[in-house]
Structure 1
Amino acid sequence: MIPALAPLFIADFAHYRDVFVLDDDLRPGMPLRAFLTPETFDDVLTRFAAQYPASDRRGLASIWTQYYFIKLIPPVVAASLILDYRLPVQLDHLQLVLDENAMPVAFKLPGPGAHWASKPLDTFQRFNDLLEGHLRPFIDSVAELSRVSPKVLWSNAGNYFEWLLGVLTSALPHADLRHGHGLINALNLPDGTRNPLYQPVRYLKVDGQAELKRQRRICCVRYRVGGLEVCGNCPLAERPGRKRSASVRK
């Protein structure tokens, strides 16, 4: 564990304690660039698929990335927003640690990171390392290797980003989360191109229910995985013939 992050890893977040580690961690890791090659990616997806017989490759890849993003995004975003701490998460510098089922469990960093010398001026400066240094090259590579639409993969990432902001808002109501909300509510990036994390979920009024329904804008195609149906947050959930099931964490 990186000592500076200890204040984050309490209560429900204690399981993140050993997700971001340094080279002295004894678990074997592989450079992410090596993972994102056809032979290695296929091997990992094949091992992962053993849990889900008779599954479509695109569905498997999408579900695997959900496990990946739920490990990556919450500690990076929480460290930045709550502690003003910048983790070195550029894809080219990280190693990925997998368990016996080829599930992502940890990342080996090149160093512990540091507090921002001066606070970021805007949301894109704060999250550039995550967005452009990691998510974009990772998603581009996985989309090419698996033939999953990049929109599905960005939606998977955005789903956890938005979910985490809700958790932080509830747990720390006085925290300054403006840069976090700014990222998912910005229609465009600074260069004028569309923001791939723009509003990944929506909240709908359901007749007879006081609580708004949380719904993803884009389906994660988990129904292509053997034994799984659409999740409760899926935009396809209300269509005839679709059955709901529990999602991979929110």
Structure 2
Amino acid sequence: MARQGEAIPTLIQSAEIIHSANIASVKSAPIHLTTPHLTTTHLTQSALNQMDLNHVAQQFNQRLSQRAPFYAQHFVATTKPQGLSFDSWSQPAVYQQLLLNFAKAYPPLTAAKTSATQQTANAKTLLCHSRSSKALHSLWGQWYFGRLVPPMLEWIFQVTTSMQMAKSIEEMDLFPRQFFIHPHDSGRVANVEFFLNRTNRPIPTPNKSEYKLLQPNQTRGLLLTCNNQSPLQDERLVERRIIQFIQTNLAPSVERLTCLSPAPPKLYWSHLGYLIHWYLGEMALPMQQFNQLTQRLFQTSTFADGTVNPLYNSINLTPACEPSSGCIRRVCCLRNQLANSHQCGDCPLVARAQARRAAQG
């Protein structure tokens, strides 16, 4: 069971202390779903009808509320999403408006001494972020991935080892278009919806201009098949599905965010490495499985298919490499440049300063 409350990252602590608004307070209007242009292969026969998908959603949501109640407040599997689609919130005009609202909640330290009138003026708020815009985009990305990744790790583990279904869930893809967000009034991501749709549809191959990092051999979704497998087979299947999630969802999400912001890809991958490592520890996995996943995800430069592993060297692991131990970021998240925030306890800048002092004796 996920160990709630242990070694919670700074972002999660901030969410509980500063932003305690419940889901009912989140305001977002339903929009028309826009689907990227796709090239297709042959049609596949439906493995699940609508009732089956509703059951899958209900079953997962119940398990998530039992295992990770904090995330169950902010993530839901559904067949009727009402939030902003990936292609909608990532339109430059929409994203900039979200960042504008976010800037009011997290002004730069250089603006902390200015008048309230100046801080609430839209043009001046954007102007005063000229030197710390990377920090603002970085923190917004932390909120986005912080709401998305832990519940999806729960999904991957549950459909592999726990969820019992009469039929397989076939070609259930995890592309960004399957996830919808509800923004908080402050502009950050408040809640995420995981859209479970029917599988009697073409198997999509993303257009390269829209999902640049995906390769043809990465376009099929996860084969969520519940059968009687050995623990070793389950572990290998979990590992493969995590990698598929990285390739089909996280990689194109980072690609899109870097097109919208001045923050470099390595900053977002640092967030993801830290988050994934932390939550794997929270899941109380067997030590052998945790160590194997840590080695494959963070200490291997390429995946089994030969593609580059973007999580490689994204974090500095502690020597013990135990689930209860943390890790140190390789890249500063820059949150210390913003007001209403504070420096992370394991900030690499602090660690480097300590190392320099120790070297000087």
Q: TM-score range by the shorter chain?
A: 0.7 to 0.9
What do the CA deviations read for 1:26-64 (whole angstroms, capped 9, x no partner)? xx4111112112111111111111111234221011111
What do the CA deviations read for 1:174-223 (whole angstroms, capped 9, x no partner)? 79557743323322134534311124333457xxxxx9763112211222
The 2-side partners of 1:20 and 1:165 are apart by 20
Higher relative contact order (CA 8 A, sep 6+): 2
Alignment-derived partner of residue 65 in structure 1: 141
Alignment pair present for 1:102 and 2:156: no
Alignment-derived partner of residue 93 in structure 2: 39
Larger Rg: 2
The TM-score, its normalising length taken from structure 2, stands at 0.56
The 1-side partners of 2:235 and 2:154 are apart by 15
Alignment-derived partner of residue 4 in structure 1: 59
2:157 to 78, 81, 84: 81
The TM-score, its normalising length taken from structure 1, stands at 0.77
Q: 187-196 vs 71-80, which deviates more?
A: 187-196
Secondary structure, counterpart of 1:30 in structure 2: coil
Alignment-derived partner of residue 188 in structure 1: 302
Q: Is the 8 A contact 2:281 2:290 kept in 1?
A: no
Alignment pair present for 1:141 and 2:256: yes
Letter in 2 for 1:67: W
Letter in 2 for 1:64: W
From the superposition, tell whether residues 164 and 189 of structure 1 become closer, same or farther in structure 2 (CA, over 3 Å). same
Q: How many residues align?
A: 231
What do the CA deviations read for 1:137-177 (whole angstroms, capped 9, x no partner)? 111111121110100001101111000111113xx447955
Shift of 1:67: 1.3
Percent of counterpart pairs with the same letter? 23
The 2-side partners of 1:178 and 1:88 are apart by 27
The 2-side partners of 1:69 and 1:61 are apart by 12
From the superposition, tell whether residues 213 and 121 of structure 1 become closer, same or farther in structure 2 (CA, over 3 Å). closer
1:49 to 99, 103, 114: 103
After superposition, the CA RMSD in angstroms is: 3.2
Q: Which runs of 5+ in 2 are unaligned?
A: 1-55, 109-128, 164-168, 199-222, 228-233, 354-361
Alignment-derived partner of residue 221 in structure 1: 334
Q: Which runs of 5+ in 1 are unaligned?
A: 206-210, 241-250
The 2-side partners of 1:106 and 1:225 are apart by 23
Shift of 1:129: 4.3
Secondary structure, counterpart of 2:328 in structure 1: strand
